[in-house]
A and B are shown apart, each in its own frame.
Chain A
């Protein structure tokens, strides 16, 4: 069920340049069905900014009724959010969307998790769940440059982890796909989240393979009512087939959505 709640901020810290990690406590936690879902956070009690900000869930702690989100403070809304302090509350709507099916990979199989920038966070909870199931997990994480890198150590504790930066200031130089090619990485199941160019590059390489992609898209309501986040589907009749990223996704099987 989707709830709207004033959630208590348990912790809030800056973990890389413009990147914040915030832990929220409340009833929404028990409604979370799986990794890859997101919440929609109102960043101002006033009317500016007016719309909520979709932010993906990075990890869930059901015992403590809390979950952690990681976001980039880039625009007006997320910058306002970044000023909140522990014990403040945040107006949260969620959980929203359909996450990654962890069941798509069986115990003993290998899953390749590929994340780019602010697409990395939802892969963390996914990796934890896959580990619990006995799936072997490999990570390839891409960032712009060293100061933007986060969670590389946390991911390393869960499996083989490669970090690529565009300028080579951390890990290897280049894009995530360069790393995958160079390391000739093998896998049974692919999971990825990141900017469209990254997802397109993965789709070109791995079309026909088992994989799920999580899309980032500008959203209005987050619940499927405003039609702001629509994308064409690859099999749409006369180009009219479409999905809404917020409610039909944000996770889709590879090849389902036209990445444009």
Chain B
């Protein structure tokens, strides 16, 4: 469907809908449910240099219209991702966005350099915003100078465009976005999870073994929308928006805020078929809005609105 295709740095997307990192593993589980080639792209689970088991359990706690997680970047490590997970995904006609995580700048650089050379990896998503690891992750994501330095270093070594995933756990999101843009980021993905906690009233202790975790799901959507609305007006690089998407209307809202593509996260857990369902619903949604192409919707909430009478299908 032509009306849904989106071109972003490194990414030629047949539609703008992709599963978000950490909510889709490396695709295997969902490949048994539907053809992954239907997806715009796949953001694979964060990969670190070494294999990681992650945090102790319980690692998830439900909240109203959302959930907290503290998985702790469990992943099989760079070697296995290169040797097994990425080659396995090659049978699908879908670009991969590799989420890169680490504890130190040189970890990030090594993972970025090597994973960017995999044939189906078309872009990197630099994970500077995971709230659930003690070292690295979010410390890189809260200080603009440090985020910029890391972005610069990763840009030097990556052979594909680099998107930086921003944390909402920060007061000046625009300052952070500008800092990574100036450092050479090709795009921004936002938002990662919001730090939260739940306490078990029977035990009086936090439910998560890690005590705090990242809040995701529909509950966080207004936070993401506000941040994308602000950031998209201040930077010249595209934004892949994410946070609580569960309907085609949500996707439209993200585009209106300023996103050029979207990722679906937590709702993959509730409805594993949600991505293809939403992709199927988008063309008629565009017709309702009188839009010939989904990209026309980007930033419509703040751009001067020029109505047209085109149709998608």
Contact = CB atoms under 8 A, between A and B. Distances in A.
Given A48-B64, A220-B67, A247-B29, A228 B272 contact: no
B270 A51 contact: yes
Contact of B66 (A50, A224, A230, A247): A50
A98 to B, nearest CB: 14
B58 A218 contact: yes
A54 B135 CA distance: 34
A23 B18 CA distance: 36
Contacts of A50: 62, 65-67, 217-218, 266, 270
Interface string B51-74: 101100111101011110101001
Nearest to A245: B57
Interface in B231-272: 246, 266, 268-272
A177 interface: no
Interface in A188-232: 217-221, 223-232
A239 B53 contact: yes
Interface in B269-285: 269-273
B62 A227 contact: no
A242 interface: yes
A218 B29 contact: no
A225 B58 contact: no
Contacts of B23: 225-226
B65 A226 contact: no
Contact of A52 (B71, B246, B270): B270
Given A48-B65, A50-B66, A230-B74, A221 B57 contact: no
A42 B270 CA distance: 8
A93 interface: yes
Contacts of A239: 53
Contact of A217 (B54, B57, B266, B271): B57
Interface of A: 1-2, 4, 42, 47-52, 77, 93, 217-221, 223-232, 239-240, 242, 247
A221 B71 contact: no
**Listed residue (B54, B217, B268, B272) with the most chain A CB atoms within 10 angstroms of its CB:** B272
B21 to A, nearest CB: 11
Contacts of B58: 218, 228
Interface of B: 23-25, 28-30, 32-33, 51, 53-54, 57-60, 62, 64-67, 69, 71, 74, 217-218, 246, 266, 268-273
Nearest to B66: A50
Contacts of A4: 271-273
A42 B273 CA distance: 14
A51 B33 CA distance: 18
A82 B218 CA distance: 25
Contacts of B271: 4, 42
A218 B272 contact: no
Contact of B69 (A1, A48, A224, A226): A226
Contacts of A224: 25, 28-29
A228 B51 contact: no
Given A4-B273, A225-B23, 15 more contacts: A47-B217, A47-B218, A50-B62, A50-B218, A50-B270, A51-B270, A52-B270, A220-B69, A221-B29, A223-B30, A224-B28, A225-B29, A226-B71, A227-B74, A247-B29
Contacts of A228: 57-60, 69, 71
Contact of A232 (B29, B53, B266, B270): B53
Nearest to A93: B272
Contacts of B25: 224-225, 227
